[in-house]
Amino acid sequence: MHEPVTIMSDDGRQPYLFCTAKGTLLVQAQLRARAFDTKGKYVYHYRIGTMISRDGGATWNRFTAQEGHDDVYTRAASTRSRTGRFSCSTPSSCRGNSPTTA
């Protein structure tokens, strides 16, 4: 176990952590920056930050499906396939969001 570190932001709102059975970690939070407003409707106030660790948290990599576009905010709507890809989707209450894989 190592000391806690800030991997994304020290002011993230509604942080979310997902851990797969194989130990891959996905962290998301709403950042202080405004959303890009690319969803076609007002989904959330702030930009979503996503980080992935495939080594149990030793190293982290930023993830985005498309630069300059609002990513899917999973909030517990994530799964990992047998091939190792994540499938993330926003709950159906937020129409206009399509699944994203990483």
- How many independent structural domains does the chain possess? 1
Residue 3 in domain: no
Closest listed residue to residue 25, CA positions, set 63, 62, 55: 55
Q: What is the mean pLDDT of residues 42-57?
A: 84
7, part of any domain: no
11-47 tens-digit pLDDT? 777 888 888 778 888 888 888 888 888 876 666 778 8
Between 40 and 57, the higher pLDDT residue = 57
Is the pTM value of this prediction over 0.75? no
Residue 96: band (very low, low, confident or very high) from pLDDT cuts 50, 70, 90: very low
User: Does any domain span residue 27?
Assistant: yes
Residue 58 lies inside a defined structural domain of this protein: yes
Apex 78 CA angle, 75 and 79, nearest 5: 165
* 64 part of a folded domain: yes
> Does residue 70 form part of some domain?
yes
Residue 56 belongs to a domain = yes
Residue 79 placed within a domain: yes
Q: What is the domain range of residue 64?
A: 13-101
User: DSSP string of the chain?
Assistant: ------SS-SS-EEEEEEE-TT--EEEEEEEEEEP---SSS---SEEEEEEEESSTTSS-EE--SSTTSPPP--TT-EEE-TTS-EEE---TTSTT---EE-
pLDDT tens, residue by residue, 58-67: 899 998 888 9
- Residue 53: what pLDDT? 92
| Cα–Cα dist 102/2, whole Å | 26
Percent of the chain at pLDDT > 90 equals 8
Q: What's the length of the chain? A: 102
